[in-house]
Amino acid sequence: MKKFILSAAVLVMFCSQSFSQTNSISDDTIIKNILHYLPKGWFIYEKENQLVFEKQDTVWVLNENQINAPVSNETKEERKARIKKFGKVDKSKIVYQYEKKWNPEKIKQAVVENDTISKELHRLPKKYNIENLRDINLSSREDDVYIGKTDKEKQAINLYEKEKASLIKKVVQIPDYNTENFSLTFLNSSGCIDDLHIVYPDVISYENYQIRSLFNELAQNNHNAR
């Protein structure tokens, strides 16, 4: 209970400078609910319109590719020893960008604009007649790669890439969540297990994901609302 009171106090102290009393993070019902369910030892503070959740205790983080990693017979104690020996001490954090709450009309308008841009991007390969230059090996689900052999093909690909970059810059970043008074966008997290890192103690990593799940459960997910 003392930890929760401290967390709320820290939140008020850092956030009250940025917003009026009638529009303060400390008065936001959904943020209050998230604070209520924070795992023990976590606190929250505001920094340059960023809302940061941080674990008081440190973790050891080891860079290790977990994608298609072979099955390991390593014991928990061996894994712990290896992470502490070769890993780096860090803090487990979650960072959100926050701003004044987007209303449904603003979100809808951004969706329409992004949909138009998406269609324009989809038409670009045909516009520059480079569809047959797509490299199967270099392309992925996230991005298509085109390789030209002649100067004409290379010039067409260059024009395609320039217009593609210009269109992507126009994409509107829609916040991930709406709370009572604010819209928040997930920026990054650290000190947790993912595809490229392993962590000790792993329980802190689970808490990190638990806090992120609270936003899915308690805040309006703008991606689901679309």
Q: How many CA atoms lie within 13 A of 103 on its CB side?
A: 1
Please state the φ and ψ torsions of residue 129, each to the nearest 5 degrees. Answer: 55, 50
Domain boundary (145, 169, 193) is at 169
What pTM does this model have?
0.79
Domain that holds residue 59: 2-102+175-225
Same domain for 144 and 221? no
Separation CA 197–CA 65 (nearest Å)? 7
Q: What percent of the chain has pLDDT over 70?
A: 88
pLDDT tens per residue, range 67-91: 887 888 899 999 999 999 999 999 9
Instruction: List the one residue out of 4, 202, 25, 185 whose CA is nearest residue 97.
Output: 185
Domain co-membership, 31 together with 83: yes
Mean pLDDT along residues 91-102: 96
- Burial of residue 217, with CB atoms counted within 10 A of its CB: 0-12 exposed, 13-18 middle, 19 or more buried: exposed
At residue 24, the pLDDT reads 72
User: What average pLDDT does this structure show over 97-122?
Assistant: 96
Is the domain of 132 the same as that of 161? yes
Evaluate if residue 195 carries a pLDDT over 90.
yes
Which tokens is 146 given?
Answer: 């085109």
> Is the pLDDT assigned to residue 126 strictly greater than 70?
yes
Amino acid at 94: I
Residue 106 has pLDDT above 80, yes or no: yes
Please state the rounded mean pLDDT for residues 105-130. Answer: 97
Convert the pLDDT of each residue in 146-159 to its tens digit.
999 999 999 999 99
Mark whether 98 and 110 lie in a shared domain: no
Is residue 79 domain-shared with residue 182, that is, in the same domain? yes
How many CA atoms within 13 Å lie on the side-chain side of 194?
10
